[in-house]
Amino acid sequence: MKTRIVSLLALACLILAFAFIAAAPAAPNKANLPATPAASAPATPAATPAEKHPEIREALESLRRAKAHMEHAAHDFGGHRLEAIEATNQAIKQLELCLKFDKD
């Protein structure tokens, strides 16, 4: 009786294992995929050029959001909030000058 239960349990495990293997999706065949899709397509003149200095532009956006958060803060924090807003304004001004300098 004990061997029959163990053999049925082993059979059930094998059936479940094969069911999971059969149900798992196969990985795509990498031999049929092109190496780089952009490399096979010719460059079009209408394609938009890469944005210049995306890190500086992202920093500008972050500073402007931070300034807005500080302006709407509930407390003055002993004058430190005002100093932080002024420092943020200076940082924004410097980054805008960086972008302007690159355009000149």
pTM above 0.85, yes or no: no
CA angle 85, 71, 93 (to 5 degrees): 35
What tens digit of pLDDT does each residue of 77-96 get? 888 999 999 999 999 999 99
Task: Classify residue 93: in a domain, yes or no.
Answer: yes
What tens digit of pLDDT does each residue of 1-28 get? 777 787 777 777 767 666 656 565 655 5
Task: Classify residue 20: in a domain, yes or no.
Answer: no
Task: Classify residue 15: in a domain, yes or no.
Answer: no
**Band of the pLDDT at 37, cuts 50, 70, 90?**
low
Residue 45 near residue 73, CB atoms below 8 Å: no
Task: Classify residue 55: in a domain, yes or no.
Answer: yes
Phi, psi of 31 (to 5 degrees): -70, -30
Task: Classify residue 29: in a domain, yes or no.
Answer: no
Quote the CA–CA distance of 50 and 36 in Å, as a whole number: 18
Quote the CA–CA distance of 13 and 21 in Å, as a whole number: 12
Is residue 64's pLDDT more than 80? yes
Task: Classify residue 30: in a domain, yes or no.
Answer: no
Task: Classify residue 6: in a domain, yes or no.
Answer: no
Task: Classify residue 91: in a domain, yes or no.
Answer: yes
Full domain range(s) for residue 88: 51-104
Structure tokens at 71: 């302006």
Task: Say how many domains are in the chain.
Answer: 1
